[in-house]
Amino acid sequence: MTLTDNKSTRRMTTIVVVITSFTTAFTGSSLNLSIPFIAYDYGVSASLVGWMVTAYALSVAAFAVPFGRIADITSRKRILVIGIAGFSACCGLSAIAPDFMILLALRFAQGVFASMIFSTNSAIIISAFPPQMRGKAIGYNLGGVYVGLSSGPVIGGIMNAHLGWRSIFISTCGLVLIAGILAALRIPADKAVSAGRPLDAAGNLLFLIFIVSFMYGLSRISSGGLLAPSLVALGLAAGIVFVMHEYRQEDPAVNVRLFVSNKGFGLSNLSALLNYSVTAGMSYLMSLYLQVVQGYPSQTAGLIMVSQPVIMALLSPRFGRLSDRVSPFKLSSAGMAVSGTGVAMLIFLGENTHVLYVIAALFVTGLGFSMFSSPNTNAIMSCVDKADYGVASSLVSTMRTIGQTFGMVVITIISTYTLGATPLANASVDLLLKVMHASFGASVLFCMIGVIISLQRKKS
């Protein structure tokens, strides 16, 4: 293959990865605004529609690691193309779903196909670039994610208001379909990097039980009763059995030995979990603050909030490239510290805080998150062999989902303790600010722990 061919392959792979990263993020962030409209159209409660988010998140988290291993031992391109095709089909069918239960089933299936994309995107784009450009490749991938997150509330909100929520599914269906065609025709076929290695079906099944039980139990922890704690306990038990099982396998689904023997790999994944637990509730709390406390209309609030992910979209590729020249371990540690500084600024929000202060705080947190995410992912991928890229990128996706769930659980616990049964959106301004200050304080603590953990890393 000539140098021109290499550049062409990298360019086409980057286009496909950026499109799929953008659309998966855009779909989720834009649909969050559509929940009341979907509930009205189908005549169901908003809490039931919320299951669209839960079902999608559970299926993504549960299937990412199994599909990452399948991709490593078969073909990453094949799994990616199947994932893109399935995701696109689910989008198209969701736009014409005749009742809500069919839409819910499609969202679960869409999460399964999205897990195929998440488990191969990073591995494919990293494999297309030389090792000294790994951070740059990861930066492009995460840049696509953050553009999707930043444009979702704005573009998705406009589409939802003027064209209806079904237009979101229709547009993403077409965009993902284009990426699928490009992937099938222009990305070169790859050889299985782990051909001949067993799938470890038992390990994957234990992982599914662990993730689904643990995450669903956490998401329902505030509902009362014994179901949620029982599911969390079941998930933890399955997790322990999973680790014991994997430790004994010659070819495990997840090489858990790496978490112990390779400090860089283990602590980088833990840092990612803490980082995503901080980011999870920020948009939710800031949306309530701007609309309930400051009294901004939803569209204005969205434009203010978009300052954070825009910074992340712009700077993630740059910090990714920088992590190819500077230690990604040190750079991501600094990013966590900057994130903590930005979140600490949010603790001082009040009824009369100037909007420029809010934007400045969001800017600092966005700067910190972009300084952390690309370098930390680069650090994780640098700790594994090429044969394990699929599973490693799947673990990054899993840490993101678990971290986001844990972050929302912390906010729920603080809200329940402060407000009792009163919904957070209906709380008085004083109590809402009290919940926000406590939640951001917890996030600062997570950032401090993350910095301490990050500074312990050494690439081994």
CA-wise closest residue to 259 among 267, 247, 251: 267
Q: Where are the domains of the chain?
A: 1-198, 201-248, 255-460
Summarize pLDDT for 102-116 with one digit per residue, the tens: 999 999 999 999 999
CA-wise closest residue to 400 among 275, 220, 265: 275
- The answer to whether the beta carbons of residues 343 and 440 sit under 8 Å apart is yes
Assigned token pair, 432 = 């809402």
Confidence class of residue 193 from pLDDT cuts 50, 70 and 90?
low
Assigned token pair, 274 = 């803490």
Residue 8 CA to residue 104 CA, distance in Å, equals: 39
How many other CB atoms are found less than 10 A from the CB of residue 162?
8
Residue 46 CA to residue 107 CA, distance in Å, equals: 16
Q: How far apart are the first and last CA of the chain?
A: 33
3-state secondary structure at position 252: coil
Residue 210 CA to residue 231 CA, distance in Å, equals: 9
- The answer to whether the beta carbons of residues 271 and 290 sit under 8 Å apart is no
1-198 and 255-460 share one fold: yes
At the fourth CATH level, the homologous superfamily of domain 255-460 is: MFS general substrate transporter like domains (1.20.1250.20)
H-helix or E-strand spanning residue 403: helix 389-419
Summarize pLDDT for 401-446 with one digit per residue, the tens: 888 778 878 887 888 788 876 776 677 889 889 989 999 999 999 9
Q: Give the pLDDT score at 3.
A: 40
Confidence class of residue 363 from pLDDT cuts 50, 70 and 90?
very high
Residue 204 CA to residue 231 CA, distance in Å, equals: 18
Backbone phi, then psi, for 421, in 5-degree steps? -90, -5
Block residue for tokens 């750079």: 331
CA-wise closest residue to 449 among 364, 337, 331, 362: 337
How many other CB atoms are found less than 10 A from the CB of residue 85?
18
Summarize pLDDT for 52-107 with one digit per residue, the tens: 888 888 898 889 889 988 888 888 999 999 999 999 999 999 999 999 999 999 99
Q: Is the pTM of this model over 0.75?
A: yes
Is the CATH number of domain 1-198 1.10.3720.10? no
